[in-house]
Amino acid sequence: MIGLPGIPVKLMVLAKREQGLMVLRGNPNRVKTIQDLGCSDVNFVNRQRGAGTRVLLDYYLKLSGISPESIRGYNQKEYTHLNVAAAVLSRRADCGLGIAATAQALDLDFVPLFQERYDLVIPKEFSDGELLEPLFKIIKEHDFREAVTALKGYDISISGNVILEEP
């Protein structure tokens, strides 16, 4: 069961995207891994509690045995990828976690760290009906696929694939 107890679902891939560190051009602090965030000369800017990016970071910090308290700026938070990038661009921080498309938009360098996958969890009773047909059609349209592919760091090569179907 995926998370809707008693409701059969289909799990469809929407997209994958890279998350990584947004840094100034040339990466002056040579930040390449999350372990580098613990260096005393690196000032980090974080996302707010509850943001998916923050959850992802905290997961990998725990997996790597890195204490959030060892990261200078861990409690300095912003509410969007664009705000994190602006903090780096203004030199208020040396780096922050975000997406490649945002780094590109503000002419920052990007150090890829993780790939996330976005899935649609669809109650099976709606998966073959007319309600979601327009969404499924858009996901397969050339213009949509071209627009998403133009965003740096996004991958839609398996978009629309059903990867799980519960009875």
CA 22 – CA 113 distance, rounded (Å):
11
Average predicted confidence (pLDDT) for the chain: 93
This prediction has a pTM of 0.86
State the Cα–Cα distance between residues 23 and 111, nearest whole angstrom.
8
- The pLDDT tens digits for 111-138 are 999 999 999 999 988 988 899 999 999 9
**Other residues' Cβ atoms within 10 Å of the Cβ of residue 50:** 7
In angstroms, rounded to a whole number, what is the distance separating the alpha carbons of residues 131 and 161?
A: 18
Q: How many CB atoms are located within 10 Å of the residue 103 CB?
A: 26
List of domains in the chain: 9-14+120-165 (no CATH), 16-116 (3.40.190.10)
pLDDT at residue 109, rounded to an integer: 98
* pLDDT for residue 1: 53
Give the pLDDT score at 40. 83
Chain segment 40-94, per-residue pLDDT in tens: 899 999 999 999 999 999 999 999 999 999 999 999 999 999 999 999 999 999 9
